[in-house]
Structure 1
């Protein structure tokens, strides 16, 4: 509990005192503070709460490659298919940065490998190829991922 209090005070100083527990959990997820994230969840913070930009803690943890935090959030009910303000799901965030382990965790948790980014129409496989992450692309392909052009066939 002491760590949570110290972390909360540090975040409040850094981002201002108008922050809610959900925003503080989001920051903890971004910085990989697994213990703090768990404590916020234990205190009743919604794992699917969004910032004003529509980002969840799972989006941030996925983007940063924080596999432990991703696992904690998913284990506490975080939805791996919520879209953020850009129309990305956490899988897109992990693919963007080439975080293989996080991509694997998200796929195992039911992330939609063929979800399209609303801002571009790309799928996770498209994005893995564009970002030149061949191992990530292979993992997505092995789990049913296709390119956006393949989703358009027959339409």
Structure 2
């Protein structure tokens, strides 16, 4: 017997499947935009990053763009930059995403963008080439050096 989903799981499912109207309905009816689902992820962490309108709706509702995932310590900005979702990166930065947070391996979002050939995804937002701790990661090279 399947148990009914809680509001956070429903919000995450709607977010992951790109259902903007369903997400808005759930938020209007009390779903916690920063709540964690059964898999310890927020709605913003599971959103379809190519759906910029949905990313922005979650951020406008108060989603925290700087929550790292519990496994690799990646933020949504790391994911969007790595995959080249420039519009989503721009919206995330406009809503307070910190582009100088490092993942579990010490990579900035810019490192991941450079590795995948999406350097333009973060250059527009003006991140530092090194983290606040001085980390250059990916073999201790800057994103510019990595892309060469």
Shorter-chain TM range is: 0.7 to 0.9
CA contact (8 A) 1:53 1:85 kept: no
Distance 1:148 1:112 in 2: 11
Q: 1:152 aligns with which of 135, 141, 144?
A: 135
Are 2:42 and 1:59 equivalent residues in the alignment? no
Q: Which residue of 1 aligns with 2:141?
A: none
Query: More helix by proportion, 1 or 2?
Result: 1
Q: Which residue of 2 aligns with 1:21?
A: 7
Q: Structure 1: which 5+ runs fail to align?
A: 1-15
Q: Which residue of 1 aligns with 2:124?
A: 139
Q: Which residue of 1 aligns with 2:90?
A: 104
Q: Which residue of 1 aligns with 2:35?
A: 49
CA contact (8 A) 2:11 2:26 kept: yes
CA contact (8 A) 1:117 1:123 kept: yes
Query: Where has structure 1 moved over 3 Å in runs of 4 or more?
Result: 147-150
Q: 1:121 aligns with which of 87, 98, 106?
A: 106
Shift of 1:144: 2.7
Q: Which residue of 1 aligns with 2:22?
A: 36
Aligned residues: 134
How big is the alpha-carbon RMSD for the aligned residues of Structure 1 and Structure 2?
2.0
Distance 1:96 1:124 in 2: 7
SS of residue in 2 equivalent to 1:64: coil
Q: Which residue of 2 aligns with 1:68?
A: 53
Distance 1:64 1:152 in 2: 27
CA contact (8 A) 2:86 2:122 kept: no
Q: Structure 2: which 5+ runs fail to align?
A: 137-148
The TM-score with structure 1 as length reference comes to 0.78
Q: Which residue of 2 aligns with 1:77?
A: 62
Q: 2:80 aligns with which of 90, 94, 113?
A: 94
The TM-score with structure 2 as length reference comes to 0.81
CA contact (8 A) 2:83 2:113 kept: no
